Chains A and B, each alone.
Chain A
Amino acid sequence: MFRRRRSSDDFAEEIKAHLELEADELKHEGLSDDEARRKARVEFGNVPAAQERFYLKSRIVWLDNLARDLKYAIRQLVKNPGFAATAILVLALGIGASVAIFAFVDAALIKPLPYAAPSRLVNLFESNQTGPRFHLSYLDYLDWKKLNHVFSSMAEYEQNDFMLNTPTGTQQANGARVSDGFFRTLGVNPALGRDFYDGEDIKSSSGTVLLSYAAWQKRFGGRPDVVGQTVTLNGTLASVIGVLPRNFHFAPAGPAEFWLTINPSSACNKNRSCNNSFGVGRLKDGISAAAADAEMKAVAQQLQKQYPESNRTRGGLAVPLTDVITGDIRPILLVLLCGAGMLLLIATVNVASLLLVRSESRKREIAVRGALGATPGRLIRQFMAEGLLLATSGSVLGIASAYGAIQILLKLLPAERLADMPYLSGIGLNARVALFACVISLAAGLLFSLTPMLRLSLVTVRQGLAEGGRTGAGVVWRRFGANLVVIELATAMMLLVAAGLLGKSFYRLLHVDMGLQPENLAMLEVWGPASIYAKDPQKVEMERQVLARLASLPGVKSVAVSSDLPVGDGDGINEVGIVGKPNLGSYNEVNEREVGSAYFTTLQAQLLHGRYFTEADDASRPRVTIINETFAKRYFPGENPLGSRINFGAVNTALEIVGVVDDIKEGPLDIATRPAMYVPFSQNPDNSFFLIVRTSQDPRLLLAAMESSIHEADQEIVAYNGVTMTDHVRDSPAAYLHRSSAWLVGSFAAMALLLGVVGLYGVIAYSVSQRTREIGIRMALGAQRRAVHQMVLREAGWLATAGIAVGAVCSLAAATLLRGLLFGIHPWDLPTLGGVAAILGVSALMASYIPARRAATLDPVEALRTE
C-alpha cells in the first residue's frame, strides 16, 4: 500500500524523455531540429503545470505547508535565542509545577482506591470524651454488626506488629489482624490462593496468613508455590493461604505485610473496655454515609444503656473510607493545585506578552509578507505554528521537569510518612496525567497563536506598511499588563516572605536547645519475646546482655536504654502527686520515662542538681527519680526539690527526687518542654525498649553492626528501626512539616519571582517598542540618552514599587495567617521583609535594564524612519 513515493525529479525526467522522443519523431517527419523541439513542447502543453499537478497529487498540501511553517518558526526562535529560552523556560516552569502537583492529586484523589465501589465503604470509629476517632472494642464490633441495618457487610481490622522468625533471626514485621469477611467487604480478591473463609477467625485463630504482594516478593522471592508454606509470627506457626493483589493497600492498617485473622479469645477481645480495632462497612444500596453514621450513633447509644460501665462515654462514628484515607491530604493538595494553576496562568500570560512584544517588532515583516500575497489564513497558520512550537517545547521540558519534581516532592516526605500514604506509590506520569499535560499544553499553544493574531488583525496587516500609529489595543494591553505585573510582583513578594519566614523558623527549629548533643548518636528499638523475658529480673538481664554486647563494639563510647526516644511524639504521660503538697488536680500531667543509668551521660545532658542514676539503683534499693528543670520550676518554685517524694501511676511507693537535669526535648521540637520525670529502668523494666548509643564515628555506619551484634547475643531478640539522632530529629513531624512547607513555598516563591521579573520585562519592553517614535522625537529634540534610560527605568520602578508595596501589605496578612506554622520568629519579621523587598527591587531593576538600554541606544533617525 505505502510504497515509496516517486520523486518529482523522476517525473521531470520522464517528461524530458517524452519531449525528446516527440522531437525525434517530428524530425523524422521532416522538421528541422529547432522546429521539432519547439513543436514537441507546444504539443505537450504546459510542462510546469503538469509537474505541479503531479507534485500536488503526491502529497497532502496542508501538511507540506505545516512542515514549512514549522521550519520557519524554528528559524525564528533560533534567531532570537533569548526570547525563545525565556518563553520556553517560563512555560516549562508553569507546566512542570502544574503537572507535578496534578500527579499527586491524581494519585491521592482521582485514582480510585483499590477496592470494589470504594465510595460505598465507610470506616467505623468509637468516639469518647477525648475525641471522635478512637478504637472500638471487639465485643462492641460484634454488637454493631448484629444491630445495624445499614451495612450489607461489616468487618474489623487492627494494626499489629509481628515478630517474624527468619533464617537470620527474629525480625519485626508490619502486620494486621482482620475479621473473616474483611477482604470480601472491601471487594478484594487475593491474586494467589484463597481469602479467609467465613468463620475462619473463630476457628483457626491465627493459623492462616495472607501475604501482601510486597511481602511475597521480598520474603518469598515471588515464588508461585508460596501457598501452603508456613511462617512463624510471634512464635506461632501460620500457613500462607494466599497473596493479595499488587495494587492493594489499606492505609488505616499501616503498611501491613502479614494479614492474620483476629483472635476472638484473646484477653483484650473478651473485654469490652479494651478498644483496639476499627470497623469497615459496605453500605447497602440506597443508604448514605450520613444515614449510616446516624444509625451507628443510635446503636452506640443503645450499648451505652446496656453496658454503662464500659460504654458510658462511647459514641459511634461512620466516615467514608476515602475521607479517612485521603482526607488529611486533600485540602493541602487542592491548595497546591490552585497555586500551580495560578502559576501556570501567569506563566502563559507572560509568554503571551513576550510574544506580543515580538509581534510588534515583526509588524513590517508581516505586512510585507501580506503584500507579497500571503493570505490571512496563511499568516494565521504561521503564527499558529510558532505558538504551537513554543507550547510543545515548553511542554516537553515541563513534563520532564514534572517527573523530576515528583521525585523531589516524594523525597520531602520521610519514609515513615510515605508509608502512611500508600496511594502515593502509584504516582507517575500515567494516562490521566498525560491527558492533563496535553490539555494545558494545547490551551497554552492556542493562547500563544491567538495573541499575535489579536494584535495583527487583518486591519493592522494592511496598515502595517503605512504604519498607522498606536492602536487602542496596545494601550489596553499595556494597562492590563502593568496591572498584571503589579499582581505578579506582589504575589512573588508574599510567597518570598512566607518562604523566608518558614525557612528561618525551620532553622530555628533545628537549632532549638534539645538539652542533648545530637551528633554521633545512634538509636535502635529492641524487643525480646515475652515468653522468655517474662519476669523483671529476666528483663533486666536482657538489658544487661544487650548493653554489654554493644559496649564491646568498636566505635561505641556509651550505651543507654530508654522507654522512649527524645524528640518523640510527647506521649508517655502520667499523672503525679507530690507527697506533702495539696492535690495538683488536672494540672498533674508529666512525661514519664524509664531510663538506664547511662542515659543522661550518653545524651550529654546537663545535671543541674543532685546526682545521676547509678548501677546500684535497682529493684532492691529505694525508688528514686530524676526530674527536669521545668518540673522543678512548676512544682517546686523557689524550693529545693531534692529529697521530695513523688507518687505516680500504679507504683505504690513514693519516689525520691535525687537529681534535676536541664530540660531534654522529649516531645516535638516546636512544643515547649513539659515537666518530665525519669525513673531507673532497673526499677521498672520492660521486654521492649530503645537503645541510645554514643559513637566516636558516623553513627550510620554502626547501625548494621549494632543490630547483628544483638542478634548474636540472642537469636530471639529483635533489633529494628535503627536511626541516627540527626535523622530522627530531621524526620520528626515538626521538622518535616517545617522543612516541606519551607521547600514548597520556597519553590513556588522562586517561580513567582521569575515570572514576575519576566512579566515586568515583557511589559517594559512592549512599552518601549510602542514608544519608539516618541523616544525618537525626544532624542531628536535633544533629550540625553541618560534621560531616556531613566525614563524607562522610572516606569519600571513605579511598577516594582507598587508591586512591593502591595506585596508588603499582603505579606503581613499572610504572615499573620502563617503564625501557627512559625517557630521562634515574629510573623512581622522586618529583616525578612526588608531582604525580600531588596531582592525584588534588584531583580526588577535587572529586568528593566535591557529594554531601558535598548531605548537609550536608539538611533533617533532610525527610530523616526521606522515609525
Chain B
Amino acid sequence: MPSRQNADDRIALLQGTLDLLILKILVLGPCHGQGVARLIQRQSEEVFLVDHGSLYLSLQRLEDKRWISAKWGVSENNRKARFYSLTAKGREQLAEKTTEWERLTRAMGLILGSSTGPGVEEA
C-alpha cells in the first residue's frame, strides 16, 4: 500500500499545474482519467495528491478548449473507459506551458536558492 504510507507527505497541486501535468501525461499516448491520476501520482513519486473531482473538471476544461479529445473505449483489462488523447493544439500548448513553467521554476530557484537578498548591494 504505497500510497497510504506517503499520505501525509503529499502536497496539493498548485493552481493551474494540473492542466500541464495532464498534457504531459497524454504525450505518452491516449489514457483514461484513472490512468492519468495514477501516472501523475506515480511519476511524482507519490508526492502529488490528485483530487479526482478536480482532475475530471480539468479534463473537461481541456476538452472544451480542444487541447485534448475524448473517446469511449475499452481498457487493457476489458473495462469501458473514456480515453483522452492530445490534439495538435494541445501539443503546442504543452510546449508553451512547459517553457513557461521552466522559466518560473528557474526564477523561483534563483530567489530561493541564493542566501542573500536582492537589496544587499545597497548597504
Contact = CB atoms under 8 A, between A and B. Distances in A.
* A interacts with B: yes
Contacts of B52: 18, 43-45, 50
Nearest to A44: B52
Given A25-B38, A50-B56, A45 B79 contact: no
Interface stretch (B29-37, B90-98, B103-111): B29-37
A18 B52 CA distance: 10
Contacts of A57: 57, 60
A53 interface: yes
A24 interface: yes
Interface in B53-75: 53, 56-57, 60, 75
A181 B55 CA distance: 80
B1 interface: yes
A210 to B, nearest CB: 63
Interface in A5-33: 6, 11, 13-15, 17-18, 20-22, 24-25, 29
Contact of A53 (B32, B37, B57): B57
Contact of B80 (A17, A49, A50): A17
B79 A20 contact: yes
B10 interface: no
B79 A15 contact: no
A17 B33 CA distance: 9
A654 B51 CA distance: 120
B13 interface: no
Interface string A26-65: 0001000000000000011110011001100100000000
Nearest to A29: B1
Given A15-B56, A21-B34, A54-B57, A45 B80 contact: no
Nearest to A57: B57
Nearest to A21: B34
A24 B56 CA distance: 19
B32 A18 contact: yes
A60 to B, nearest CB: 15
A17 B51 contact: no
B57 A21 contact: no
Contacts of B80: 13, 17
B77 interface: yes
A24 B79 contact: yes
A666 to B, nearest CB: 85
A17 B82 contact: yes
A15 B79 CA distance: 13
A57 B80 CA distance: 25
Contacts of A44: 52-53
Contacts of B27: none
Nearest to A17: B81
Nearest to B56: A50
A421 to B, nearest CB: 60
A17 B38 CA distance: 14
B34 A53 contact: no
Interface string B74-89: 0101011110000000
B51 A21 contact: no
B53 A49 contact: yes
B38 to A, nearest CB: 7
A13 B82 CA distance: 9
A29 B1 CA distance: 8
Contact of A21 (B56, B60, B79): B79
Contacts of A22: 34
B18 to A, nearest CB: 14
Given A17-B32, A18-B34, A45-B51, A11 B56 contact: yes
**How large, as a class, is the contact surface on chain A?**
20 to 34
Given A21-B75, A57-B60, A45 B53 contact: yes
B82 A14 contact: yes
Given A6-B60, A14-B33, A54-B60, A21 B81 contact: yes
Contacts of A17: 32-34, 79-82
Contacts of A13: 80, 82
Contacts of B34: 17-18, 21-22, 25
Interface string A111-134: 000000000000000000000000
A20 B35 CA distance: 12
Contacts of A21: 32, 34-35, 75, 77, 79, 81
Contacts of B32: 17-18, 21
Contacts of A11: 56, 60
Contacts of B33: 14, 17-18
A46 B60 contact: no
Nearest to A5: B64
Nearest to B3: A43
Nearest to A15: B56
A25 B57 CA distance: 23
A29 B77 CA distance: 14
Q: Identify which of A14, A22, A53 gathers the most chain B CB atoms within 10 Å of its CB.
A: A14
B33 to A, nearest CB: 5
Nearest to B4: A39
A835 B89 CA distance: 84
Contacts of B3: 43
Contacts of B53: 44-46, 49-50, 53
A52 to B, nearest CB: 9
A22 B82 CA distance: 14
Nearest to A46: B53
A54 B37 CA distance: 18
Nearest to A40: B34
Instruction: Give the residue among B37, B38, B53, B81 with the most A Cβ atoms within 10 A.
Output: B53
B50 to A, nearest CB: 10
A463 B77 CA distance: 62
Contacts of B56: 11, 14-15, 18, 50, 54
A38 B81 CA distance: 20
A25 B37 CA distance: 12
A612 to B, nearest CB: 98
Contacts of B82: 13-14, 17
Interface string A318-332: 000000000000000
Nearest to B77: A24
Interface in B1-58: 1, 3, 32-35, 37-38, 51-53, 56-57
Nearest to B41: A43
A80 to B, nearest CB: 43
Contacts of A46: 53
Contacts of A45: 51-53
Contacts of B57: 50, 53-54, 57
Contacts of A50: 52-53, 56-57
A44 B57 CA distance: 13
Nearest to B36: A18
Nearest to A6: B60
A11 B60 CA distance: 10
B122 to A, nearest CB: 49
A39 to B, nearest CB: 9
Contacts of B51: 45
A53 B52 CA distance: 12
A54 B61 CA distance: 10
A53 B51 CA distance: 13
A53 B55 CA distance: 12
Contacts of B38: 25
A605 B111 CA distance: 120
Nearest to A31: B1
Interface of B: 1, 3, 32-35, 37-38, 51-53, 56-57, 60, 75, 77, 79-82
The 9 closest A-B pairs by CB, nearest first: A50-B53, A21-B34, A18-B34, A44-B52, A17-B81, A14-B82, A18-B33, A22-B34, A20-B79
17 contacts: A11-B56, A13-B80, A17-B33, A17-B34, A17-B81, A17-B82, A18-B32, A18-B33, A21-B81, A29-B1, A46-B53, A50-B52, A50-B57, A53-B53, A53-B57, A54-B60, A57-B60
Interface of A: 6, 11, 13-15, 17-18, 20-22, 24-25, 29, 43-46, 49-50, 53-54, 57
Given A18-B34, A45-B53, 4 more contacts: A17-B32, A21-B81, A50-B52, A53-B57
